[in-house]
A and B are shown apart, each in its own frame.
Chain A
Amino acid sequence: MPDNKALSGGLVKKNNFLLIVGAGGAHVGRMLLNLALIIAASTAWFDMDRLPTLIASVIAIGIVAYAVLRHKHGRKFRMREIAGLSALDNAVGRATEMARPVLYTPGWGGDIQRPTTIASMNVLSHVAARTAQYNCDLVYPTHDPVIMAVAQEVVREAYADAGYVERFKSDNITYVTSSQFGYAAAVDGMISRVKPASIFLLGTFEAESLILAETGNSIGAIQIAGTDSTIQLSFFIVACDYTLIGEELFAASGYLSQDESILASVQAQDIMKVVIAVFLVVATIAATLTATGLVDLGEWWMF
């Protein structure tokens, strides 16, 4: 004979389940209705003001896809030598010979979503692999906790890949402060006290760039810098041994890893550059002819 208590309990559970399903269903229904109302209320699905941006984006994506596919079909290309990147290994080697650490910092201006920071992480991975092999200390101060966490993982993995995970010191990769000149003072202090033999200033830098580069110069460190901040580039060129100018930093990932897909995207960059140059020439001719009144070619280029 079935247990009445258990049976009623089962019915209650079943009813509860139905109630929950019913309530959940009603909730989902309400959400869908709200969504439908929002969609119905939406008048402009496409903002026509952004058409030029969309066209440019589609062209850019198309070029990257084309370059990647072309690469997959065996078309290889060679990247020119980038002095700053070629000097990375020598800089780590020098620090090892002098028994002094390497200091790497990504600057104060970026956060992890910034392409420059991501590009800097690629170089960090390469430098960390070398410091692991040569058993040289790598010090990495940063102003952003997320960058710190990612850098720790990047360096740990580089050490593991090199087969020297026991040499990895997570304490050397530290968050110092989010304040610009607090960060500059902290890194300056580290440079003065630790006296690294090689300094890598790769990332987004602002006014702290010259403070760091000049302090590095004063202790005689070999310095490799790279940034996307055009104004800071001039400071780096004066105070550092090697400077990666803007896009060279973005190309570093492909240059150092020789990864086919990444190399293809670097080639895509060059194709886009040619497209832009052609557009600039055509637009300049059109604008000049229109301005002289010889022919009216309109202002289609001024989107």
Chain B
Amino acid sequence: MKRLHSRHWVFLGLLVVITAAMLLRVPMQLRTSPETQRMFDYLDQLPEGSVILVSFDHEASSLPEIRPIAEALLRHAFERDHKLIGMALLAEGTVIGYRLMEQVAEEYAREYGEDYVYLGFKPQFIAAILSMGESIPATFPEDYLGSPYATLPLAQKVSSYDDVAGVLSITDGSLTTHWIEYGGARYNLRVMAGVTAAMVTTYDPYVSSGQMHAMIGGLRGAAEYEQLIDVGGGGLRGMLAQSTAHLYILLLVIIGNVLYWREKKNKAGKR
């Protein structure tokens, strides 16, 4: 058998730690971060019936992290009786977005066409964002299910970004930057986002400069939001696994440094 290298032991350890944490059920209480609170307050204080554009700008790969974020935000929006228009800038996000909206709408007995519509996917994200700024019906002549745009009661009220309260981009990459640079800068569209943990620091400068109105990030953001709306979900469930993985990495860093210093000391002793 091939000898295992240190990296393989590191991988194996992580697998064991995460699996063990997933099997345990420990209730957790989290401190809400100001960004999550800001997102919650915005959706909470919007007048009932406000139209929000929800863009599923992610691929299938990040679903375990994206799903709790999207579910928490959709739940809050439907609970507040906001009207949602869904769409996707990446082909893979299309069906995921549709299923998520359908599932959460069902939980709150919301009706397709009246309370939410799903426009589907548009390729070439920059062109799509700019084009919607000119005309949403021209960009999406029909919805995801094939119904003409004009036949949907909710869609009839929306012709451009002027008719929506903002866009909520659910993303695992840098697509929200395009919403900020093209939708926000050019059409004054209010941009909010639910992003994976790896992308949080990318968007921090936009939040602090006000170019992005609000953001929730990663599994932790989803868990905080679930606490705020008082509906449990994947965020709170996954937090234990994430926390133990973080602690495991911290332990690795300590071990790595101990080994490094021991090696350094040995070398110094030999001289």
Q: Do chains A and B touch in the complex (CB under 8 A)?
A: yes
Contact call B7/A181, Cβ cutoff below 8 A:
no
Asked whether A231 lies within 8 Å of B59 as measured between CB atoms, the reply is: no
Q: Which of chain A's residues has its CB closest to B200's CB?
A: A231
Contact with B along A204-237 (1 / 0, CB 8 A): 0011000000000010000000000111000000
B228: CB under 8 A from chain A? no
A172 to chain B minimum Cβ distance, whole angstroms, is 27
Is A135 positioned at the interface, with any CB of B under 8 Å from its CB?
A: no
Least distance between A236 CB and chain B CB atoms (Å): 14
**A83-B172 Cα distance, complex, nearest whole Å:** 32
A204 to B199 alpha-carbon distance, docked (Å): 14
Residues of B near A49 (CB, < 8 A) are: 188
Query: Is B266 located at the chain interface by the 8 A CB criterion?
Result: no
Closest to B62 in A: A207
Contact across chains for B173 and A231 when beta carbons are under 8 A apart: no
Smallest distance from the beta carbon of B89 to chain A beta carbons, Å?
A: 13
Residue among A49, A109, A207, A229 having the largest count of chain B Cβ atoms under 10 Å: A207
Asked if B29 lies at the interface with its beta carbon under 8 angstroms from chain A, I say no
B174: Cβ under 8 A from any A Cβ: yes
Closest chain B residue, CB of each to CB of A114: B126
Query: Is there a chain B Cβ closer than 8 Å to A179's Cβ?
Result: yes
**What's the dominant secondary structure at chain A's contact region?**
helix
Contacts of A218 in B (CB 8 A): 7
Residues A181 and B198 in contact, CB atoms below 8 Å apart: no
- Asked if A96 CB lies within 8 Å of chain B CBs, one says no
A181 to B188, CA, bound (A): 33
Q: Is there contact, CB below 8 Å, between A206 and B59? A: no
Also in contact, A179 and B201, with CB within 8 A (given A109-B174, A218-B7, A229-B174)? no
Which listed residue (B61, B174, B199, B202) contacts A181, Cβ 8 A?
A: B61
Q: Which residues of B contact A109 (CB under 8 A)?
A: 173-174
State whether A207 touches B7 (Cβ < 8 A).
no
Contact A207 B172, CB 8 Å, known A180-B59, A181-B61:
yes
What does the 1/0 interface line of B125-155 toward A look like (CB < 8 Å)? 0000000000000000000000000000000
A-B contact count (CB 8 A): 26
> Which of B62, B172, B188, B198 gathers the greatest number of chain A CB atoms within 10 Å?
B198
Cα separation A231 to B198 with both chains bound (whole Å)? 8
Contact with A along B90-106 (1 / 0, CB 8 A): 00100000000000000
Chain B residue with Cβ nearest A53:
B185
Q: Which of B193-246 contact A (CB under 8 A)?
A: 196, 198-199, 201-202
- Count A interface residues, CB 8 Å: 11
Q: How far is the CA of A181 from the CA of B62 in the complex (A)?
A: 10
Asked if residues B201 and A206 are in contact (CB atoms below 8 Å), the reply is no
Distance, CA A207 to CA B202, complexed state (A): 12
Interface residues of A in 167-191 (CB under 8 A from B): 179-181
Complex CA gap A218/B201 in Å reads 27
Residue pair B59, A179 in contact (C-beta under 8 Å): yes
Q: A180-B59, A218-B7 are in contact. Are A230 and B202 (CB under 8 A)?
A: yes
Apart from A206-B174, A229-B202, A231-B199, 18 more pairs, CB < 8 Å: A49-B188, A109-B173, A109-B174, A180-B59, A180-B61, A180-B173, A181-B59, A181-B61, A206-B173, A207-B62, A207-B172, A207-B173, A207-B196, A207-B198, A218-B7, A230-B201, A230-B202, A231-B201
- Please report A residues at the B interface, Cβ cutoff 8 Å: 49, 109, 179-181, 206-207, 218, 229-231
A-B pairs with the 6 shortest C-beta distances?
Answer: A181-B61, A231-B202, A206-B173, A231-B201, A180-B59, A207-B198
User: Residues on B close to A: CB < 8 A?
Assistant: 7, 59, 61-62, 92, 172-174, 188, 196, 198-199, 201-202
A-B residue pairs in contact (CB < 8 Å), sample of 9? A109-B173, A181-B59, A181-B61, A206-B173, A206-B174, A207-B62, A218-B7, A230-B202, A231-B202
